[in-house]
Structure formats: C-alpha cells, structure tokens
Amino acid sequence: MTGRRRTAVLISGRGTNLQALAAAAQSPAYPAEIALVVANRPEAEGLGFGKSKGIATAAIDHKIYAGREAFEATLQKLLEAHRIELICLAGFMRLLTPGFVERWAGRMINIHPALLPAFRGLDTHRRALAEGVKIHGCTVHFVAPQMDAGPIIMQSAVPVLETDSAHSLAERVLRQEHAIYPLALALLARGELEIVGQAVRVARPGEPDEPLIAPHPALPGGAGKGRKPA
Ligand code: GRF
C-alpha cells in the first residue's frame, strides 16, 4: 500500500492526456496512481495505451445502455470495484448526470481546451480564431453539473499567432494540457485544494509567473520578448 490516491481516467478517444497523467504517476513520489482507464467507446485508442502500461482498462459502451443512469450505474460499480478515489475526465465526450456529478463532487476534475469561462463546449480552437483572441489556453476544473462550468483549478495560456490554423493552435494548447493536468491532479491528490464558492484556493501557491503579452510588440533596438518598453 503506497498511500497514493487511486485515480480513474475516463476517455473517449486518443488519450494523450491519459498518457501525460500516467507518465507523471510513474514517479513513486507522485501522489496519485492511475488505477483504471475507462472508455465509453470500445474503439478508443487510449485503451490500448492503458493496457500496454499494465493499467486496468474497461470499455463501457454507452450505446448499449437505455439511458445515462444505466450507463453510470455500471460505471459506478466499476469505480467501486477498483476502489477509485479520484476521477480525471480526459477527452471524455459523454455528459454526466447531476446525480453522478454530485456523488463525485470535489473528487472529479476535467481538462478543457480553452481559458474558461471563455469557449465552453466544442470546437474551441476554431472559435477562438474566429473571435480573434490573442491569448488562448486550457483549464483544469472541478466537474459541476453544468458543462465546463466547475471551479477552476489551474490554467495555462498560449499566444495565438497570425499564422495559426485551428490545428496548430490545438497542438500548442495540447502541450500545455499535458503540462498542467498532472500538476492539477497532484494538488488534488495531496489535498491542497479548497473550493470556496466558485473559486479554488491552493494551499501553497507558487510565485506568480511572467505575464503573457501577445502579440508581444517588437521594440526598437532589438529589444523583444521579456524586455519592458522604456
Ligand atoms: C483534449 O483537448 C481535452 O482538453 C479535450 O479533449 C481532448 C482530448 O485529447 N477535452 P486526448 O484524448 O487527451 O488526446
């Protein structure tokens, strides 16, 4: 018994965030272990990754269930059988009922590819480009009954470039997803998060980082990023 928090990762597709979480959890010092991978689509690529790492995996095909409650009843039984304490949604494309969300309140987190509360829902990168935002990013948040609306744990921002396509922007954001999801899960697993109203307090917040200004103005005399205008 290592004392690490037993965590399930719920996926629907390729599972690169699952890979990032599993990579972090390979360190014995990491406070969570990935004990179960569940997909609601049997063909989800991430299941193969889970198996290859010796993680327990399961497909619960939502299409064979009469409704969300029946699907979630099977899911809940599986989570209990594996003594799961925490849940990470990672590209899990299935809405969960308020009952299931309530049951896991404070113990279930999600990663969203936008700086919430901007761009809830799907197709976030295309919409960000269409709106002309200069800064975009990703958010890890507690799951609430409303979609993409729970208390925000951590965010990472990236510049939007004039040359960006939705694809190139998605890649830049995805690298940040892989960076912050393991950090956020570690905070949760160590019990270092407290939900206060709609906000999340972190027990030992790090020093604030540099501001991100985008596009960063090119300054005369070769001064550029990281230099303050005179
Ligand atoms: C990620 O962009 C995540 O933010 C979103 O769905 C995508 C899943 O990617 N919710 P992956 O399956 O983790 O590669």
Distance, CA 178 to ligand 1 centroid (Å)? Answer: 10
For the chain, the farthest-separated pair of C-alpha atoms sits apart, in whole angstroms, at: 67
Is the model's pLDDT at 230 over the cut of 50? no
Q: Which of 101, 192, 87 is nearest to 148 (CA)?
A: 101
Alpha-carbon distance of 178 to 55, in angstroms, equals: 19
Is the model's pLDDT at 37 over the cut of 70? yes
Number of structural domains found in the chain: 1
Alpha-carbon distance of 103 to 178, in angstroms, equals: 27
pLDDT of amino acid 225: 54
Distance, CA 15 to ligand 1 centroid (Å)? Answer: 7
Mean pLDDT of 5-24: 98
Is the model's pLDDT at 208 over the cut of 80? no
Task: Please check whether residue 212 lies inside any domain of the structure.
Answer: no
Give me the sign of the Cα torsion angle 207, 116, 47, 176.
Answer: negative
Q: What is the CATH number of the domain that holds 26?
A: 3.40.50.170
- 147-192 pLDDT tens trace: 999 999 999 999 999 999 999 999 999 999 999 999 999 999 999 9
Distance, CA 110 to ligand 1 centroid (Å)? Answer: 10
DSSP for 93-148 reads -S---HHHHHHTTTTEEEEESS-TTSS-SS-HHHHHHHHT-SEEEEEEEE--SSTT
Task: Please check whether residue 66 lies inside any domain of the structure.
Answer: yes
Q: Over the range 177-202, which residues count as b (16 or more CB within 10 Å of their CB) and which as e?
A: bbebbbebbbbbbeeebeeeeeebee
Atom of ligand 1 at shortest range from CA of 177:
4
Work out the pLDDT band at 216, boundaries 50, 70, 90: confident
Mean pLDDT of 3-19: 97
Task: Please check whether residue 98 lies inside any domain of the structure.
Answer: yes
- Tell me how long the chain is: 230
Alpha-carbon distance of 180 to 138, in angstroms, equals: 9
pLDDT of amino acid 148: 93
Which value, to the nearest 10 degrees, does the dihedral of the CA atoms of residues 69, 74, 76, 82 take? -170
pLDDT of amino acid 220: 72
Segment holding 227, helix H or strand E: none
Query: 137 CB less than 6 Å from ligand 1?
Result: no
Domain that holds residue 82: 5-202
Task: Please check whether residue 122 lies inside any domain of the structure.
Answer: yes
Catalytic residue set: 112
Is the model's pLDDT at 1 over the cut of 60? no
- 122-151 pLDDT tens trace: 999 999 999 999 999 999 999 999 999 999
Atom of ligand 1 at shortest range from CA of 110:
10
- 42-99 pLDDT tens trace: 999 999 999 999 999 999 999 999 999 999 999 999 999 999 999 999 999 999 999 9
Query: How much of the chain, in percent, has pLDDT values that exceed 70?
Result: 94
Task: Please check whether residue 23 lies inside any domain of the structure.
Answer: yes
Q: Two tokens at 42?
A: 């049997």
Task: Please check whether residue 211 lies inside any domain of the structure.
Answer: no
Residue identifier of the C-alpha nearest atom 1 of ligand 1:
91
Task: Please check whether residue 172 lies inside any domain of the structure.
Answer: yes
Query: 91 CB less than 6 Å from ligand 1?
Result: yes
Alpha-carbon distance of 141 to 199, in angstroms, equals: 10
Atom of ligand 1 at shortest range from CA of 138:
4
Task: Please check whether residue 217 lies inside any domain of the structure.
Answer: no
Query: How far is residue 93 from each of residues 111, 147, 181, 194, measured CA to CA in Å?
Result: 12, 11, 17, 27
Distance, CA 91 to ligand 1 centroid (Å)? Answer: 4
Helix axes 166-189, 16-25, angle to 10 degrees: 40
